[in-house]
Every structure is written in C-alpha cells, then in structure tokens.
Amino acid sequence: MSRRSLLRGGAAMLGTAVAAPLLSACGGGGSGGGNAKELTFWNFYGPNPQAGGQSKWFTDLVAAWNANNEVKVKLHYMPTAEYLAGTALQTAFAAGEGPDIFLLSPGDFLRYHNGGVLTDLTPHLTKEQIADFDAGVLATRQVDGKVYGLPMEAEPLGMLYSEDAFEQAKLSEGDIPKNWDQFLDVAAKLTTKDRFGVLFETIPGYYQNFTWYPFMWMGGGAAVPESGNPGFNSPAVHAALKLWQDAVNAKVAPRKPQGDGAGNGPANLGSGYVAMQQTGIWSVSEMATDAKDFRYGVFPLPVPDGGTYTTDVGGWAFVANAKGANPEAAAKFVAWALAASDAEGIERGRQWNTVVKTNLPTRKSVQDAAQAAGAFDSPQLKVFLEQIVPGSRGEPRYTPEVYKAISDAIQATQLSGTDPAQAAADAAGKIDTFLKGYKGAAML
C-alpha cells in the first residue's frame, strides 16, 4: 500500500474534513468496549484478508507484544477507503468510542491534537530514543517539545525520468535539469505527440498539496505567516503556482494522470505516458514489481533561481488515545513498537522500511542497519538517500481549513487559468481570517 494510494482518500474526505469541528468529545476503547486489558489498534494494514508482508508485519508485532505483556493489543483492520475516505475514525471519536491506538498522518495531526485526543509519549521514551529519530520527521508530531506520535516511515519526493525518452530526445545525464527554466525546457524537448514531458498531480486532495509544498518552500514561501514571512500571498507562492500552471499551459504536462494518480509510477512513467514524473520513494518498489524492465533514473526536484533545494517527506505514525481505556499502556506499546533500541526493535524497523515496503527509516540506528544489509544499493535508492534526503523537510501539519484554501489555489491556477497572484491572495484571505480565531498548536 503506497502513500500515494492512501493520501488519495483525502480527496474523498475533503468535504467532511473541512466541515468537521475539532474533536472534543473523545474517549473510548473502540471496538474493544473500553477494556483496559485489551487495547484496540485501528489500522489499514492487518490482519488483511489478502494477507501479504505488510499485514504479517503488523500481526507479528502485536503477537510479540501480547506474548510478554498483561495488557493485550487487538488489531482492528479497516480497508483503506473506509479508514480514510469514510468517516469511521472521526465518527468513533465524536461518539467517545475512538480506538486506543491508531495511525495518523501529519496532515490530520492538528485535528486530533487540538481535540485533546493524543497521548504524550515523551515519558515513555529516553532522550537517546528521541535523538535517534530524524528531527525533521519527528517535529511534525511534537508540540512544545513533547512527542505525540512516532513515525514509522519516511517517504521523500523526487523526480523519476525515462532513460529511453532522454536518449530519444538526444539528452544525457548532463541535461538533467537543476533549475525551473531548464526543467520546462527539458520537458518541452521530451514531449511528443504520444508522450508528455512531465507529470505533476492534478487531482485535488491531500496528496496534491503534499507534492506542491516543496516548490513553495524552495523559494522561501510559507502557507501561514511565520518569522516575518507574509504567508501565502508572496512572490515565492506566486512562482510555485505559476510553474505548475506553465507546465500545463505549455502542454508539456497533462491535465489528467493515468491510473489512480500522479504518484503511480508504472501507470504513468512506466507506460510511456510521461517522460518525467514527480513521485515518491514508494515508486521504486512499484516499478520493480509492475515495470521491472523499464529503464529509469531519479533526480532531486529542480530549484528556482536563488532558491534553496527542499523536498517533502511524508509517512504515517502510531499514536495513542489520551481518552482511551488505558492511555499509559497504549503509549508504552507505541514506544516499544517503534522506538525500542534493542536488536529486535531495530530489526523490526528495518523489516518494515526495506523488506515489506520501500521507505527510508525514520531512525538513524535502523537506517544504519538497513545500509549494512545493502537495502539502498540500487542506483535509484542511492539517489534518494544521498541526494534527495539531505534537503528534506517533514510533511507539514495544517488544519483542514488551511489545507482546503491551498488546494483551491492550486486547482484554480493549474487547471482553470486563474492568475497565480490572484489565487494566492484569495487563499491568503481565507487563511488569515481563519487564523485570527485559531487557538490550537502551531502549524509547521
């Protein structure tokens, strides 16, 4: 299950996400009925009726915990569409029946933290364990120095390109674009009557926002005012919106991706539909499975003139319900599952990130173990690790109101021809109005 597939659910959930108030009536125990001796863990991995390595990792994890602890954990599997595109999780919490443990992305972190749902995990972690996590990835799960979620994976964004398409256009590795002007120029050279030069996401949703943020950041832009930055209505934001708009207007980028979206490597790059594609590290494993003979390379996102290279890194986290049946036991489970520093804990992280999935580990110790095992020896993964990750920034956490304003601006400029400065000003007005009454945790 890729991040691209998971975040696609955000588009279907958009109306509910914006309309729903911050959670306040939470408590629970989920399907376990509030049993302090049996904690429920809602997830979209296992036990999956179709089984598979990811499902087995979850069932083995819980079995190992249950074998050595009085308080047991019971997995409650939900299909991806039900977990994300539906309202099951929000409805359960609103009714005081939320699960004791569940999976949460940075994009929805503030909804639950501001609602008082998330347990502080810090008392159950040593300083060494906290320091073992990548600071940028952990930051979006922290408030005032306290840890409210432990990331299980890191998924950076990069650019994949077809080696055959480059050769046909008489381009070489030396022509890999470094800045935006070069990027559009190369995209034009790669465009033919049967193929687009580049692909950005055009389907509205959490995933599209996630993939657009790096272009805003590289020019120094921000979604909300911070450190003297004016917020969303800025030259950097205008330029980022215009880049995506220019690619579509020049017809070097399509208005619609193939398959289930622009994060699907085999359906877009692998099919020959596009010659370059912005996507994430998950596409490496997908290409190996579904387009194994396709020749492709990877390069970092191009940078605007005068900008600073930055990419976005997403990934899911384990969190514990602060109003569940046994918050302390739930927090202990989360800390043990994802932060244990013994050999078993490190191997558990290596297996998840480099055996049953293709991610980057969120912990230095796990990454070292993965490198020692040759997990990043392929040329594509080496680029991710050595060139893409050093400029990474954790996926931001914004409220649904801020997210929706940004999504509207991207859609208006990319596909409807709206002037980028006007779209940014409209979105900034909505964001600024919302922020005047906002009292929750900081948006990062």
> Are the beta carbons of 416 and 83 closer than 8 angstroms?
no
d(CA 222, CA 216): 7
Task: List the beta bridge partners of residue 43.
Answer: 77
User: What was the pLDDT predicted at 28?
Assistant: 47
43: nearest Cα among 1, 101, 112: 101
List the structure tokens of 6: 């998971």
d(CA 382, CA 388): 9
Q: Give Cα 55 to chain centroid, integer Å.
A: 20
* Domains of the chain with bracketed CATH: 3-154+315-389 (3.40.190.10), 156-313+398-436 (3.40.190.10)
What is the radius of gyration, based on Cα positions, of the chain?
21
Backbone phi and psi for residue 70, each to the nearest 5 degrees, phi listed first: -70, -40
User: What was the pLDDT predicted at 59?
Assistant: 98
User: What was the pLDDT predicted at 52?
Assistant: 84
d(CA 315, CA 2): 10
Give me the amino acid identity at 90.
Answer: Q
Q: For residue 159, give the 3-state DSSP assignment.
A: strand
> Are the beta carbons of 231 and 224 closer than 8 angstroms?
yes
In total, the chain counts a number of residues equal to 444
| pTM of structure | 0.86
d(CA 300, CA 348): 29
User: What was the pLDDT predicted at 86?
Assistant: 63
252: nearest Cα among 277, 271, 270: 277
217-232 burial string, b = 16+ CB within 10 Å, else e?
bbbbbbbbbeeeeebb
User: What was the pLDDT predicted at 49?
Assistant: 85
d(CA 334, CA 283): 28
DSSP conformation class of 21: P
User: What was the pLDDT predicted at 332?
Assistant: 98
Task: Report the relative pairing of strands 142-143 and 311-314 from DSSP bridges.
Answer: unpaired
207: nearest Cα among 358, 5, 444: 5
What are the DSSP E strand ranges found in 59-133? 72-77, 101-104
Q: Can you give the pLDDT of all 444 residues of the chain as single tens digits?
A: 454 444 444 433 333 333 344 344 344 444 445 789 999 999 999 999 887 899 999 999 999 999 999 999 999 999 877 886 667 888 899 888 999 999 998 888 999 999 999 999 999 999 999 999 999 889 999 999 999 999 999 999 999 999 999 999 999 999 999 999 999 999 999 999 999 999 999 999 888 999 999 999 999 999 998 877 889 999 999 999 999 999 999 999 999 999 989 999 999 999 999 999 999 998 998 899 899 999 999 999 999 999 999 999 999 999 999 999 999 999 999 999 999 999 999 999 999 999 988 889 999 999 999 999 999 999 999 999 999 999 999 899 999 899 999 999 999 999 999 999 999 999 999 999 999 999 999 998
